Amino acid sequence: MTDTTIFGKIIRREIPADIVFEDEHLIAFRDIAPSAPVHVLFVPKTPIATLDAACGEHAELLGRLMLAAADYARRAGFSEPGYRVVVNCNGDGGQTVFQLHLHLLAGAPLGGFGVAR
């Protein structure tokens, strides 16, 4: 299955992105419309549309995504001040790109979250 989303195009270098990390499993790049001073997206190279579509065979990959975000945050100096990791799922979750991804938000105190107002 090929990832036909915009993130698939970034993975295949069909469109540019500010890539901050890549290995054989995942890619990380800066969000084009950041919601915090630091906003990096961690995207598995395996196409998985949503968190809801993930299953047991993806357990290791999901762990890699979390650890890659934590490693990046640590190297960037955000361990002590803190940061937030978010996965949006489907419409009410605010997901707009249907290739599973993890948002890393850092660089300032982050507000609360919940029902959109």
Q: Which residues are catalytic?
A: 101
Shortest distance (Å) from residue 33 CB to ligand AMP: 4
CB nearer ligand AMP, residue 32 or residue 79: 32
Edge-to-edge strand list for the sheet holding 19-22:
19-22, 26-30, 38-44, 102-106, 83-86
Pairing mode, strands 102-106 and 38-44: antiparallel
* Three-state SS at 91: helix
Cβ atoms within 10 Å, residue 76: 15
Nearer to ligand AMP, 79 or 90 (CB): 90
* Cβ at position 80, least distance to ligand AMP in Å: 26
Q: Which is nearer to ligand AMP, 33 or 55 (CB)?
A: 33
In angstroms, give the least distance from the CB of 89 to ligand AMP: 8
Q: For binding to ligand AMP (CB under 6 A), which residues are involved?
A: 6, 17, 29, 31-33, 41, 88, 94-97
Q: Which residues neighbour 51 within 8 Å (Cβ) at sequence distance 6 or greater?
A: 87, 89, 100
